[in-house]
Amino acid sequence: MKVTVWNENRHEKENPKVLENYPGGIHGYLANMLACDDIEVRTATLDQEECGLTKEIVEDTDVMLWWGHGAHEQVPDEIVDRVYEAVMRGMGLIVLHSAHHSKIFKKLCGTTCHLKWRGGARERIWTVKPNHPIAAGVDETFVLDPEEMYGEPFDIPNPDELIFMGWFNGGEVFRSGCTFTRGNGKIFYFQPGHEINTAFQNENVQKIIKNAVRWACPIKKNIELSCPHFQPLEKTE
Ligand code: ZN
């Protein structure tokens, strides 16, 4: 399986705390976490040529992870379209934390993807679909302290499946882990992962991301998209 971890990689350059939590940046940390015998991982970042997402790299990716925050608008539409087409052709996409506002997630959802937010909260996550492959081996409930509060209403289309619910100590709730299908591609949105916290070090969070990558991996990728005029296979008169 070939995985590409995309990160905006801007907070890493401005706030030493991010690199302290995540040596190698969020992209490097996640790549290191995911790499194993049957998963080949590469990273790509905003400041690389073509955002690190050349046609060749995108076509050679089974599952892409996306972390972005303050620079969503700096990703050229042409790159967003390239990733979008890859999802339509079967590539899996894992959308992390503040990437709820990324151009690619908004394009796939067709909604604003707005939510409520506040720094420095305590979150309790509940596994609400324990028999889902993304929840395999994950505790029924676990705490992230601190984690940024993300609250409902979260303006997304109805997810195919809701797997994790978050509750925050300000009383807010959030659909923290949910799946969508677009074209031939599987998409998982997962809420934890504020850059100055340590959610990606959490054992349950790591398990969820690893499970999600395997769940989103297509049986077949780069399925050609077409809309042909079609002759009948049977006699119709
Ligand atoms: Zn955040």
Whether the Cβ atoms of residue 191 and residue 176 lie closer than 8 Å to each other: yes
> CA torsion angle for 103, 31, 120, 147 (degrees, to 10)?
90
The average pLDDT across 77-100 equals 98
pLDDT confidence of 236, banded at 50, 70, 90? confident
Ligand 1 center to 27 CA (angstroms): 15
pLDDT confidence of 2, banded at 50, 70, 90? very high
Ligand 1 center to 181 CA (angstroms): 25
Whether the Cβ atoms of residue 141 and residue 127 lie closer than 8 Å to each other: yes
Q: How many Å apart are CA 101 and CA 72, to the nearest integer?
A: 7
Ligand 1 center to 98 CA (angstroms): 5
Ligand 1 center to 118 CA (angstroms): 9
DSSP reduced 3-state for 213: helix
| Crossing angle (nearest 10°) for helices 203-216 and 25-34 | 70
Ligand 1 center to 143 CA (angstroms): 17
Ligand 1 center to 205 CA (angstroms): 15
Ligand 1 center to 193 CA (angstroms): 7
The average pLDDT across 135-142 equals 98
User: What is this structure's pTM?
Assistant: 0.97
Whether the Cβ atoms of residue 24 and residue 7 lie closer than 8 Å to each other: no
Q: Quote the percentage of the chain above a pLDDT of 70.
A: 100
By DSSP bridging, strand 116-127 and strand 161-168 are antiparallel
pLDDT confidence of 191, banded at 50, 70, 90? very high
Ligand 1 center to 232 CA (angstroms): 53
Q: How many Å apart are CA 135 and CA 138, to the nearest integer?
A: 5
Ligand 1 center to 229 CA (angstroms): 47
Q: What local confidence, expressed as pLDDT, does residue 87 receive? A: 98
Structure token digits, residue 128: 């609400």
The average pLDDT across 189-212 equals 98
Ligand 1 center to 184 CA (angstroms): 29
Q: What local confidence, expressed as pLDDT, does residue 237 receive? A: 81
